[in-house]
Amino acid sequence: MRKVGIIGLGHVGATLAYRLVTENLVDELVLIDKNEKLAVSEEYDLLDAQVFLTGKSKIIIQDYQALKDASIIVFCAGQISALGDDGDRFRELDITSKIVEEIAPKIKHSGFDGIVLTITNPCDVIATYMQELTGFEPNKVFGTGTMLDTARMKQAVGRKLAIDSRNIGGYVYGEHGDSQFVAWSTVTAGDRPLLTWNKELDLAELDEDVRAGGWKAFAGKGYTSYGIATCGAQLIQMILNDSKSVVSVSAYNKQADAYYGQPVVIGKNGIESFVDCQLTEKEKDSLTSSIQIIKNGLTYLPYKQ
């Protein structure tokens, strides 16, 4: 049975729920939010939509015990208003860490033993905290990380080369935040290394375009939802279908002793394996710096003090 739980029904959680139901990606969907009236509204809105769909998903609300036999829980609870005008995701940590402290014991108590996917910001720190407080194996707790940032990179490169962004490969590494960086040595266009294209490219300008893409999606409405919810839906499909797909997510790297954005293989067990790309020395330095920023954020959590 394809059963998924979503905790947090803000813009991202609601958009994700809508896609899972309308595309018939799940048999059962458990929706939980601190605002019960919101959960009821989402339930009835989705039930109305299903009248016109070929498939049908059973919807359960506000029941942690219903998570026991779920395959995946998506944690996207938060308070986007805490982000501030500068887009600093660490501004959310004081609020979101407390939500994890409240929710993690309830997930454990439910008897759930599946995979936890975290979207809540700051993504890398929250994934770390969720793993620590649930005690689940690191391969079964991970964050969306730089998956969305990688999509933004593909968009930026595709625009520059005037080709479809789906023909662009490669990865954004590090923090889902300001210290992220495009590993240009991994980027391909039409299956050719990008750096071999006979076209002058300002990589610094492109790198900035990647960061700016997120801000442009956020600035006009005060949140983003479609892109990140699509990342969540894709990861759910990868897990349920045991697809062994390669994507860049926030995963625990034992050598660095940290969660950060990196390419991994996703399957039925969550993080199945890691993809070890040969980064340049400059990229390695950027990664080291980004990991340190994530670790600095961890020092604000009670278990690290």
To the question of whether residue 247 is assigned a binding role by annotation, the answer is no
To the question of whether residue 297 is assigned a binding role by annotation, the answer is no
14-216-227-222 Cα dihedral, nearest 10 degrees: -10
Count of alpha carbons within 13 angstroms of residue 160, beta-carbon side: 23
Separation CA 180–CA 217 (nearest Å): 17
Among candidate residues 176, 181, 286, 301, the one labeled active-site is 176
To the question of whether residue 33 is assigned a binding role by annotation, the answer is yes
To the question of whether residue 167 is assigned a binding role by annotation, the answer is no
To the question of whether residue 120 is assigned a binding role by annotation, the answer is yes
DSSP result, 174-226: B-SSTT-EE-GGG-EETTEEGGGSSS---HHHHHHHHHHHHHHHHHTTT---H
3-state secondary structure of 15: helix
- Which residues are CB-contacts of 211 (< 8 A; sequence separation ≥ 6)? 178, 180
Q: Compute the radius of gyration of the chain from its Cα atoms.
A: 19
To the question of whether residue 12 is assigned a binding role by annotation, the answer is yes
Give the pairing of strands 192-193 and 141-143.
Answer: unpaired
DSSP result, 218-261: HHTTT---HHHHHHHHHHHHHHHTT--EEEEEEEEETTTTEEEE
As given in the structure block, the two tokens for residue 184 are 């240009």
Give the pairing of strands 72-75 and 3-7.
Answer: parallel
How far, CA to CA in Å, does 242 sit from each of 26, 132, 142?
15, 25, 16
To the question of whether residue 67 is assigned a binding role by annotation, the answer is no
109: annotated active-site residue: no
Q: Print the SS3 string covering 127-158.
A: HHHHHHHHCCCHHHEEECCCHHHHHHHHHHHH
96, 90 contact by CB (below 8 A)? no
To the question of whether residue 11 is assigned a binding role by annotation, the answer is yes
Return binding residues for NAD(+): 8-13, 33, 119-121
Among all residues, which ones are annotated catalytic? Answer: 176
Binding positions are: 8-13, 33, 119-121
